[in-house]
Amino acid sequence: MADLRRSLVINFFSSSGATLMRFVVSILLARILSPAEIGVYSMTVVFVNLAGVFRDFGVSTYLQREPDLTPDKIRSATGVVFTSSWLIAIAMFLSSESIGNWFQEPEIIPVMQVLSIGFLLIPFGAITNALLTRELAAEKQAIVNMAGTLSFCVSCVVLAKLGHGSLSLAYANLINIIVCAVALVPLRPKNMPWLPSFDHWRSVTHFGLGSLLSSCMVALNNAIPDLLLGKLGNARQVGLLSRANSTVTIFTHVAGSTVSYGAVSYMAQAHHRGESLVPVLTRATSLLTGVGWTALALTTVLGRDIVLALYGEAWLECVPAILPLSVAAGVMMAFHYVPIAVTAIGRPYLSAAPVAVTLLARIGFAVVLFDGTLAGFGWVLTLATLVAAPVTLLQQQRYFGFGALALLRALLPSAFVTAGTTAVAALLALTLPSTLVPLVRLLLMFPVLALAWYLLLRASGHPVLDEVHRLGGMARARLALLRPNV
């Protein structure tokens, strides 16, 4: 647990720093690129993310979960991931023209071709990164993350200013992959084999197929909003939806991979020891919603100010979609660790069921209920999420004994804190003059909201309070070390 806590702290600051840099870049790009150009890239990334599921083939999760990981198994995993990645890269490149023609967006073609090249290079660092996660070597991964983020941010802005449009994001992504692959070479774990093989390919692919089913469903589910809106609406609406979703997921971006870092390995080890995962699920869900629900609620109440402060008036049309997207994100947050838990017990395919329900509901509701507005499309996504929630709850009850009442008890303190902080935010929004610059309004609200959140944590006895105090103690200890000796 001590190693996990240390790794989580390192991962949090690493991912938060990277997220902050990317967030600043997204603000700059919002003033350089048009919504249509960002929409084209978003539509292309949908297919790239889907292809990424097949590229990985569950190898990364296999390496993190396998109880007896031998060099031969690592070599076999390497062989599988190289084979799948290169085959997918070729398929992406060859299908780019057909996809561009289907959407009647010719700019998609070169963007997808550039992104497909990255699939040829990703395997050179994928195995090393998975093994570092297994070893909770967050410090080494932080170095790679920072190098890749810097290269992405700099190249992205420079290329956009030079007029490369959607391609600037694609080239920046490719540069990021190259930098990360090179940075991972000196950080390879000791005795890690270099050459691939296929001696244990059956065990790798057996787990990979189960993981692939759920991962494929997740990728399709994530892809459907942009695909449906791109087909039923237009690229501009896709760009606006992407910006609304980025606003809603500010907390997710800030927290980064920390909310899931090492979770598969940690839960798998507990499962192998015969321990119940209910305490882990209860505490993890409570911690996540204690922070995340408040962040989502504040984003909804202050959405207009946030959009104006970060992106400018050109993106105000995305504001109506923030409320429904926040509701959907809040529901998903309550069940965030269930797919991780079923993977940890060796049944990754189970998480495909609720995702499949969401996927089908999204398609059906979009065809029947979409009214042509961005807000209407947001509520379509929310309804689909609500329909699938009972399926996840049933799995949680059956495989972990974590039922509805236990989940409700874990969520009540988070709901109390969220409601109280939101009420304070709404009052502040009404009190402060609307003539103030949006960024100034937000900065004036922040200390009051932080204090209100902390006091509500104390009043409810929320588990997050212990973590806040622990981080505060670590910060004070660090500052004490930095003080000069008198």
Q: Among 185, 211, 232, where does a domain finish?
A: 232
Do residue 193 and residue 264 come from a single domain?
Answer: no
Q: Which strand (E) or helix (H) includes residue 254?
A: helix 250-255
Do residue 207 and residue 305 come from a single domain?
Answer: no
| pLDDT of 486 | 43
Q: Which positions of the chain have pLDDT values less than 50? A: 1, 486
Question: Distance (Å, rounded) from C-alpha 473 to C-alpha 479?
Answer: 10
**Which two tokens mark 308?**
């104006």
Do residue 258 and residue 202 come from a single domain?
Answer: no
Count CB-CB contacts under 10 A for residue 128.
Answer: 23
Instruction: Summarize pLDDT for 384-434 with one digit per residue, the tens.
Output: 999 999 999 999 999 998 989 999 999 999 999 999 999 999 999 999 998
Do residue 359 and residue 473 come from a single domain?
Answer: yes
Cα 63 to its chain centre, rounded Å, is: 20
Q: Among 211, 232, 253, where does a domain finish?
A: 232
Q: 267, 17, 18, 9: which is closest to 139 by C-alpha? A: 9
Do residue 143 and residue 249 come from a single domain?
Answer: no
Q: Among 206, 232, 258, where does a domain finish?
A: 232
In terms of Cβ atoms closer than 10 Å to its own Cβ (0-12, 13-18, 19+), residue 351 is buried
Do residue 370 and residue 245 come from a single domain?
Answer: yes
Do residue 252 and residue 187 come from a single domain?
Answer: no
| pLDDT of 484 | 57
Instruction: Summarize pLDDT for 204-221 with one digit per residue, the tens.
Output: 676 666 666 667 777 777
Q: What is the pTM of this model?
A: 0.66
Instruction: Summarize pLDDT for 57-71 with one digit per residue, the tens.
Output: 677 777 777 777 788
Do residue 347 and residue 431 come from a single domain?
Answer: yes
Question: Distance (Å, rounded) from C-alpha 321 to C-alpha 372?
Answer: 12
Question: Distance (Å, rounded) from C-alpha 261 to C-alpha 256?
Answer: 9
Domain that holds residue 60: 1-232
| pLDDT of 294 | 94
Question: Distance (Å, rounded) from C-alpha 273 to C-alpha 271?
Answer: 5
- The amino acid that residue 429 corresponds to is A
256: phi > 0 → left, psi -120 to 50 → alpha, else beta; which? left
* 8 A C-beta contact, residue 241 and residue 321: yes
As for how many domains the chain has, the answer is: 2
Do residue 372 and residue 443 come from a single domain?
Answer: yes
